[in-house]
């Protein structure tokens, strides 16, 4: 066992294990040490290239753009559902009632489908029209 530094709470590495084990620390500090060692391992194992930050930035921008696009689709579907509901409530002719009902149900199902597939279903499932 090697000690990294000497103070009241030594951080000890075992010879066969790379993750640090703290002998006298509470569980919360052990988790922080594990996270820190994982980050150090990830930094050591990552190849250092000058293009990596640019690639990561482009991937982040693409992911954000896709998320905004999905959110816009969900919002448009919600507006379409509200419009179909308003149309249903304003219909007075018997021939248009079936058309309004089908339109409202289709808009509702499209909204629910997009909401579930957008990844924000858990956040927005309490929305009522």
On whether both 68 and 89 belong to a single domain, the answer is yes
On whether both 65 and 109 belong to a single domain, the answer is yes
Environment class of 71 (CB within 10 Å of its CB; exposed 0-12, middle 13-18, buried 19+): middle
On whether both 109 and 63 belong to a single domain, the answer is yes
Give the pLDDT confidence score for residue 6 in this predicted structure.
Answer: 45
Tally the domains of the chain: 2
Give the pLDDT confidence score for residue 20 in this predicted structure.
Answer: 47
Give the domain range for residue 19.
Answer: 2-45
On whether both 65 and 90 belong to a single domain, the answer is yes
Residue 33 lies in a domain: yes
Residue 129 lies in a domain: no
Judge whether 1 and 14 are in contact, CB under 8 Å: yes
On whether both 69 and 116 belong to a single domain, the answer is yes
How many alpha carbons fall within 13 Å on the CB side of residue 7?
6
Torsion of Cα atoms, 102 then 103 then 109 then 112, to 10°:
-150
On whether both 77 and 94 belong to a single domain, the answer is yes
On whether both 21 and 70 belong to a single domain, the answer is no
Residue 113 lies in a domain: yes
Please tell me the distance from the alpha carbon of residue 109 to that of residue 129, in angstroms, as a whole number: 13
Judge whether 77 and 118 are in contact, CB under 8 Å: no
Give the pLDDT confidence score for residue 46 in this predicted structure.
Answer: 56
- What does each of the 129 residues of the chain score in pLDDT, given as a tens digit? 444 444 444 444 444 444 444 455 555 555 556 656 665 665 555 555 556 777 788 888 888 888 889 999 999 999 999 999 999 999 999 889 999 999 999 999 999 999 888 875 554 454 544
Model-wide pTM > 0.75: no
Give the pLDDT confidence score for residue 32 in this predicted structure.
Answer: 58
How many alpha carbons fall within 13 Å on the CB side of residue 88?
17
The two tokens of residue 4 are 């990294």
On whether both 18 and 72 belong to a single domain, the answer is no
């Amino acid at each position: 066992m090697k000690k990294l530094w000497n103070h009241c709470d030594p951080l000890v590495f075992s010879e066969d294990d790379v993750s640090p084990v703290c002998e006298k620390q509470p569980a919360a500090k052990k988790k922080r040490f594990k996270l820190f060692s994982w980050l150090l391992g990830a930094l050591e194992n990552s190849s250092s290239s000058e293009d990596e930050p640019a690639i990561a930035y482009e991937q982040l921008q693409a992911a954000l753009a896709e998320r905004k696009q999905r959110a816009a689709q969900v919002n448009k579907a919600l507006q379409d559902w509200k419009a179909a509901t308003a149309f249903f409530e304003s219909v007075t002719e018997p021939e248009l009632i079936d058309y309004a009902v089908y339109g409202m149900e289709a808009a509702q199902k499209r909204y629910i489908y997009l909401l579930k597939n957008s990844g924000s279903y858990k956040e927005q499932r309490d929305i009522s029209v």
